[in-house]
Amino acid sequence: MSGAVNADLAIDVTGLNKHFGDKHVVRDLSLRIRRGEIFGFLGPNGSGKTTSIRLLCGLLTPDSGNGTCLGYDIIRETSSIKREAGYMTQRFSLWEDLTIRENLEFVARMYGMKDRSREVASAIDRLGLTTRQNQLAGALSGGWKQRLSLASCMLHHPRLLLLDEPTAGVDPKARRDFWEEINGLAASGITVLVSTHYMDEAERCHRLAYLAYGRVLVSGTTQEVVDSQSLVGFEVTGPDLPGYADRLRGLPGVEQVTAFGNTLHVIGRDKDVLAGTAARMQREDAHRWEQIRPGLEDVFIGLMKTVEDNFS
């Protein structure tokens, strides 16, 4: 086991880089995640979230950089990390021609667990799978497959849970139920690293990092992330919003105009200039401008405008 390890940190890495051919997929990733914390990776497809997760838990070896996961060196002690981490992949990766119970029993055998029957029964009960335990996995809906996947990666009682876009393709109720389970696991001391596309899920995390094209652009609590960008915003309502949005783009102080349902979010950084534009536009037509506090989505839309796609 590595020396000089901070016992309060589940993950502590510095300067991780990973290339696949000429693609620099992860760039200088440095991250510290506390034990019992829910930490979110947010970013578009191709941003390096999955590769970062695999570097952190020893499934991939970085080209450069170093660090620890659960106190173990991410390069030299990967087998120890894997024994104490649970990894839920983006796609359902269990056996569709086995039942729920058969899948869990097989996973338990792979881990060499003692008293497998009791552990499997406990997992089935904890995740609410009892009534469907004899159903083939291939016949399950997305939400039930999600529960089965979570049960399988929790069987060996990991100290770290890695969830790669776990709620993609499931309905809102299943997403809510899943997050209630995650909150309970974190409260029991398990560290959770979760990647997601959903802003509401990112806001459920204790802290988060936004990745784009392999680089962390900003990290911290939701409040810290929003505050770091020093944005000001207005919500605009009125007729013909698509046409009105075209008129607004390029006006003084306007950095982004985005449709949010039946409104527009008009965002900038210079409060006085943007307020002046808002006052002038309200005098000219019937649209209503109301000042708002920009949210995570406003922040990330703005961040994406500042970075170059280095994968194209």
Pairing mode, strands 85-88 and 72-73? unpaired
Pairing mode, strands 160-164 and 85-88? parallel
**b/e map of 273-310 (b: 16 or more CB within 10 Å)?**
ebbebbeebeeeeebebeebebbbebbbbbbbeeeeee
Query: Chain centroid to CA 194: how far?
Result: 4
* pLDDT at position 312: 44
> Regarding the domain delimited by 1-84+158-171+192-228, which CATH topology (the fold level of the hierarchy) does it fall under?
Rossmann fold (3.40.50)
Pairing mode, strands 232-237 and 263-268? antiparallel
Cβ atoms of 162 and 88 within 8 Å: the answer is yes
For residue 303, what are its two tokens?
Answer: 């961040």
Residue 298 has φ and ψ, to the nearest 5°, of -60, -40
* pLDDT at position 177: 85
Sheet holding 207-212, edge to edge: 85-88, 160-164, 191-196, 38-42, 207-212, 215-220
For residue 312, what are its two tokens?
Answer: 């194209």
pTM of the model: 0.86
Quickly list H helices, the chain: 49-56, 78-83, 100-110, 116-126, 142-154, 172-187, 199-202, 222-228, 241-248, 271-284, 296-304
* pLDDT at position 4: 53
* pLDDT at position 1: 41
The span from the CA of 225 to the CA of 230, in Å, is 10
For 276, half-sphere exposure in the C-beta direction (CA atoms, 13 angstrom radius) is: 8
The span from the CA of 296 to the CA of 15, in Å, is 26
* pLDDT at position 90: 80
* pLDDT at position 2: 43
194 Cβ contact partners less than 8 Å away, ≥ 6 residues apart? 38, 39, 40, 41, 162, 163, 166, 182, 201, 205
For residue 147, what are its two tokens?
Answer: 């529960």
Which residues in the chain land under pLDDT 50?
A: 1-3, 310-312
Q: Where does residue 241 fall: left (phi above 0), alpha (psi -120 to 50 degrees), or beta otherwise? A: alpha
